[in-house]
Structures are given as C-alpha cells and as structure tokens.
Amino acid sequence: MEIRTIKTVKGKAPFSEDKIITTVFDDDIESPLISIHPDIEYQEIKGFGGAFTEAAAVTLNKLSDANKKKIIELYFDTENGIGYNFGRVHMNSCDFAEGNYACVKENDETLETFNIERDKKAVIPMVKGAMEYAGDLEMFVSVWSPPAYMKTNGEMNRGGKLKGEYFELWSEFYVKFIEAYRNEGINITTASVQNEPKAAPTWDSCVYTAEEERDFVKNYLGKKMQACNVKLLFWDHNKERVVERARVMMSDKEASKYIGGIAFHWYSGDHFEQLEMVHKLYPDIDLVFSEGCYEYSLGQSDAVKIGEKYAHDMIGNFNNYCNIFCDWNLLLDEKGGPNHVGNFCAAPIMADTKNDKVYIHDSYYYIGHFSKFVKKGARRIGSSKWSDILDTVSFKNPNGEIVTVVLNRSDKSEKFSILIGTQRADLTAEAHSIATYIIK
C-alpha cells in the first residue's frame, strides 16, 4: 500500500509532502484506528468553489495583472491551485457589494430596463478569468433582494416581503438574468430561490416563510426555471432548520419536481445530523454548502482556528451527505470588504489594494486539502474512527485512489493507524494539523 501524504501544520509550510510505502499487515490492533471500507459508497461529490461577489471582483481589479492572475490560478488551477470548479454569483446587490443596486430601474413594471452592465465591469470578467482554468466551471445564482418597489417595506435592506402582485414579474427577472449571463458565455445551471429567507438584517434581504417559498416555486418560479433548464435550490440558510424547510417544500409534488437541492450555511452551529435526516427523507436532492465565513477581526488573530473551523465543518457535512461545497467571498480587501453596511469579513485570500500585496490565509490551505485532491465524481466511502480526538472523512476518486482527510484540532500530536482490508499504515497527526492521505 502506497500513501502520498500532504500536510498543513501550524507554524510550518503548508501542503508539505512525503510518501509512506508500507507493507505492514494488520495484527489485530484495535485502537487508535481509522478503518476504511472502499466498497461501501455514499454520495457523489460534485464540486468545490466560492462566491464571485462584487466585493471580490472589485478588489481583484485594483491589483496588478500579475496578482490578478495569481489569485485566479490559486483557486481554479488544478496543478498550481486548489482546483475549484464551482461558483456563486448574486442577482442584484448583496452585502458584499459597493451599494444597493438592481438590474432594472426603480418602478419598471415591464423589465424593459433590465441589464447586467454593472456585472460586466468586474464580476463577469472575474468569472471568465476563472473559466480559463476551470473550463467546466459550474455556476449558480443566489438572490438577496428584489428591487425595492417590489417589496412590502419599499427598500432592499431590512427584510420585507415580495408583494403578491410581483410574483410573476420577479420570476421573469430570474430568466432575464440567466439569459444575460448565458449571452456572456457563462452558463448558470442552478438558482437559489432566496438567500437566508428567515433573516431581516440591515443589508439586502427578503423574508419568506417555508410555505411562501414553496408556493413561489410551485406557482411561478419553478416552471420558468424548468424552461431554462435550471434546477432550484431552496432554503439557503442555516442548518438547524433544513429538515422543517425540506418537509414543506418536498412534500408538495408540484413544487418538489423543480427542486435540485437544498442549500445551507454554518452560522448557527454544526447540526450535521440535520443533513443526514434530510438525505434519509429525500435521498435524490443535492445537499449544498453555499456559504460560510468569519468576521474580519477574528480573521486577523485566529487564522489557524478559522482553517480548522472550515475543515471541521466540511468533514461533518461530507460525512452527512453534503456533495457540493461553496465558500463565501473568493477575495476581500485589507478592510474585509468592500461592504456597503460595514459587515466586514475574512476570506481565504485577502489583498492589500494600496500596496498590491496578496495574503493567503490558513483557511485556503485547509479547504484545499479537500478541493485539490477530491476530484469531481468522487464518492464518499465508509470509514470509522476510535474517538473524537481526530476528525476524518474518506473518498474514492474516479480513478480508484482513496483520499482520506484527517484533522487534529488539539494541542498535542496523536498516533493512529489507517486500516484498509489487511493492510495497515501507522501514522501521526501533529498538533493543529490537517493531512490528506492519498492511498493507492
């Protein structure tokens, strides 16, 4: 059994690599053991990626051509980067835009003024740059708010609801956006009904109950997206309510036929069991991690902790049937923005736009331990571990190689063994480390 080992250890160079060739045969040890069963297969892994927000694109445009190329390559190149093949864009503004905006003029009752000229300035060029490395880049769009005139509160921020008389017009808005992107050579294949439909923050937002979201899909949006060959994601909010939201949407035959998956965020805690329950109830839909980030102040002082949070969440999600991972902002500036409401956050890569410098945070490497080595079309495979000292998940790539990720968030090293059939490898997980083991 040959094992290629890639490690990222606190205080040491990331993605350090060595090989372990072992002919050790199992001698019935019982602990500490990670046992892997390649013949037991679970969900297919469909992709990894991040969000092409206006904030990310505007920040990228402020850098030199060399640094622009470097950042896109770091994310989307399979050899020199971490191999992203999935992306998210926002329709109209979100908090990580330079201000509130819509793709139509205010009070346009016909959508005759619809255009994506603002997206063409920065977002679309960034997406096209990524496509040069990831030609099969899969894109989905999320919505933060309809135009202000379509909402009960008369503004794009602070929640409010979509007025009933605009359901049809708003659903046509999605069609125009998707067609406009396709005219630019960017094929959006999935759309989220609404980002965080339970929240009414100070930034771009719109509230739907589970029943309202279901009825909008069933009576208006679903048929239009089906005509565009676009699948819908619903919920797009925290994990603690995925079961209750799924029950409402998926129990309706007319609504559920348009659904491709349920999207979720991490801001309310682990709740991994919710994902397993949704899969048990509705095994044919995708479980899509569509957003997660940390506030910028924490990003400055606890970079390793943030990386460990990403890896812990990814392992828990994948072990409970998640099959797509999509991070939040691909890039932010030295302030953790731009952000039009002061909701500054960290990103895996950040830039000092004043001095044309690029900073790669630990979270980039922690995510890369999955996205770089777990290939599209891989399947999660059976694995078990002796305790909660380490977090771990295993996959089988389309070429048959086994990929096991092991995370140690503790302050001390832990010895352990990987067992596959009759062969065993004796290994060490260093304190505050993540390692990817590629087993042939």
Given the residues 54, 212, 213, 291, select the one marked as catalytic: 291
- Contact call for residues 400 and 421 (beta carbons, < 8 A): no
Angle, helix 54-61 to helix 123-131, in steps of 10 degrees: 80
| Residue spans of alpha helices (H) in 191-270 | 210-216, 222-227, 242-250, 253-256
- Contact call for residues 291 and 265 (beta carbons, < 8 A): yes
Residues 20 and 5: their CA atoms lie apart, in Å, by 7
- Contact call for residues 192 and 142 (beta carbons, < 8 A): yes
- Asked if the bond preceding 32 is cis, omega within 30° of 0, the reply is yes
Distances (CA, A) of 341 to 122, 303, 361, 396: 20, 24, 24, 43
The DSSP bridge pattern shows strands 286-291 and 259-265 to be parallel
Is residue 295 annotated as a catalytic residue, yes or no?
Answer: no
Given the residues 138, 196, 212, 308, select the one marked as catalytic: 196
Q: Tokens representing 276?
A: 């397993």
Partners of 231 in the beta sheet? 190
Which residues have CB under 8 Å from 151's CB, separation 6+? 145, 160, 161, 162, 163, 206
- Contact call for residues 351 and 315 (beta carbons, < 8 A): no
Residues 86 and 230: their CA atoms lie apart, in Å, by 15
- Asked if the bond preceding 338 is cis, omega within 30° of 0, the reply is yes
Place of tokens 């694995």: 383
Strand, coil or helix: 134: coil
Partners of 90 in the beta sheet? 142
Is residue 430 annotated as a catalytic residue, yes or no?
Answer: no
| CB neighbour burial string for 82-114, b if at least 16 within 10 angstroms, e if fewer | bbbbbbbbbbbbbbbbeebbbbbeeebeebeeb
Residues 331 and 51: their CA atoms lie apart, in Å, by 9
Residues 229 and 169: their CA atoms lie apart, in Å, by 19
Strand, coil or helix: 369: helix
Q: Active-site residue numbers?
A: 196, 291
